[in-house]
Amino acid sequence: MNFDLTPEQEQLRDAVRSLGRRYGHRYFVEKAKAGEHTTELWHEAGRLGYLGVNIPTEYGGGGGGITELALVCEELAAAGCPLLLLVVSPAIAATVITRHGTDEQRKRYLPGLADGSQKIVFAITEPEAGSNFHRLGTVARRDGDDWVVSGRKCYISGVDEAGHVLVVARTEDAASGKLKPALFVVPTDAPGLTWSKLDMEILSPENQFLLYLDDVRLPADALVGQSLDAGLPALFAGLNPERITVAAMGAGTGRYAIERASEYTASRKVWGGRSIGSHQGVSHPLAHAAVQVELARLMIYKAASLYDAGRDLEAGVAGNMAKYATGEAAALAVDTAVQVHGGAGMTTEYGVATLLGAVRAGRIAPVSREMILNFVAQHVLGQDKSY
């Protein structure tokens, strides 16, 4: 058993950390408040190769795995820059295309994802289906060689900054009559595709959208893998990297909050010469949050190494547990950091309350804590499904 990063992974972690610190949380908040994106940071990370660490070298990537991408997500978040689109574009879209796209699709999309010049966002959630993906209502039907896709998606992150959306639809299987998932790479300028921004209570430079697909006509090669049999494995291929990297982002955010709080409590004095951090009523909640974040990190990197070793089923269990644990730990860390700052905790200047919305959302998305508990109850504990 070995808990150490390789020298290359340590180098990557340190380099990403220093990039993140050069931008910092103030930059992230200013962009969000101005309604702008963190474009400079994204492009610089792309030029330095950090956005494509998990993409094969033949397509311009770093040839690493989800472990490397998790390090990138964690370190940027630990510097105060939790970038949700890392979870969507390099983690989900690049993995799905690498593992299940055709050669032509890999050549077309991966180089742009690797250098960050292109983003592909991910659309599965629908207003009526919610957590129950079996009820997806976005339908793809064949028309000659083309596909025509119609439906509605919600909470889709980053549509306004992406060239394409990876849309999860369903088709009717002519042989069995069963409905199957099918993934399409849809250009964001395709006729019939429109979107409207959702007002969210999350301070973030990345936004969520309602997406409307109204008879969007796509060529045959927009279907990932160009085979309907690729749909289900392609969808599952994207879910483990999504859970692992979103957890890494949460762990980084937790670390960031605890670091801010520790600095503050070590220097703030309101009772004579003693710091407020000397009072255990202040330091113990912080220490407790630090323990929870560190425990979650162990599960994140266990899940990432299982995934990179090709042990998908075990990575699925560990990735869900990591996502659950980190969602709780990050929310606890940020809430505790706000509390120990007193009034300063609610100011923008101290840069902790600015993360409350994001960590709260981390207990809901991309998969809610309840759905993870359902998964663990059924698949680990062998309980009957109640729904």
Ligand X SMILES: Cc1cc2nc3c(=O)[nH]c(=O)nc-3n(C[C@H](O)[C@H](O)[C@H](O)COP(=O)(O)OP(=O)(O)OC[C@H]3O[C@@H](n4cnc5c(N)ncnc54)[C@H](O)[C@@H]3O)c2cc1C
Smallest separation (angstroms) from ligand X to the CB of 37: 15
The residue among 63 and 130 lying less far from ligand X, judged by its C-beta, is 130
Q: What are phi and psi of 33, to 5 degrees?
A: -70, -30
Whole-angstrom distance, CA of residue 329 vs CA of residue 351:
18
Least Cβ distance, residue 10 to ligand X (angstroms): 31
The torsion region of residue 384 among left (phi > 0), alpha (psi -120 to 50) and beta comes to beta
Name the residue nearer to ligand X (CB basis): 323 or 341.
323
Quote the CA–CA distance of 370 and 374 in Å, as a whole number: 6
Q: How far is the CB of 364 from ligand X (least distance, A)?
A: 5
The two three-digit tokens of residue 93, written as one number: 């879209």
Closest CA to 196 of 185, 188, 208, 214: 208
Distance of CA 221 to the CA centre of its chain: 26
CB of 386 to ligand X, least distance (A): 7
Nearest CA-CA partner of 249 in 178, 192, 327, 184: 327
CA within 13 Å, CB half, 121: 24
Tell me the closest approach of the beta carbon of residue 131 to ligand X, in angstroms. Answer: 3
CB of 360 to ligand X, least distance (A): 9
Name which of 21 and 369 has its Cβ closer to ligand X.
369
Is the Cβ of residue 85 or residue 299 nearer to ligand X in the bound state? 85
Instruction: Report the SS3 class of residue 126.
Output: coil
Least spacing, CB of residue 72 vs ligand X, in Å: 18
Closest CA to 329 of 365, 288, 372: 288
The radius of gyration computed from the CA coordinates of the chain, to the nearest angstrom, equals 21
* CB nearer to ligand X: pick between 271 and 387: 387
Could you check whether the bond before residue 366 is cis, i.e. omega within 30 degrees of 0? yes
- Give me the residues that bind ligand X (CB under 6 A), please: 88, 121-125, 130-131, 155-157, 202, 208, 361, 364-368, 370-371, 374, 387
Nearer to ligand X, 129 or 286 (CB): 129
Q: Considering beta carbons, is residue 222 or 286 the nearer one to ligand X?
A: 222
Cβ neighbours of residue 387 closer than 8 Å, sequence gap 6 or more: 132, 374
Q: State the nearest-atom distance from the C-beta of 339 to ligand X, in Å.
A: 24
Task: Indicate the SS3 state at residue 93.
Answer: helix
- Of 102, 37, 54, the closest CA to residue 245 belongs to 54
Task: Identify which of residues 75 and 126 has a Cβ nearer to ligand X in the complex.
Answer: 126
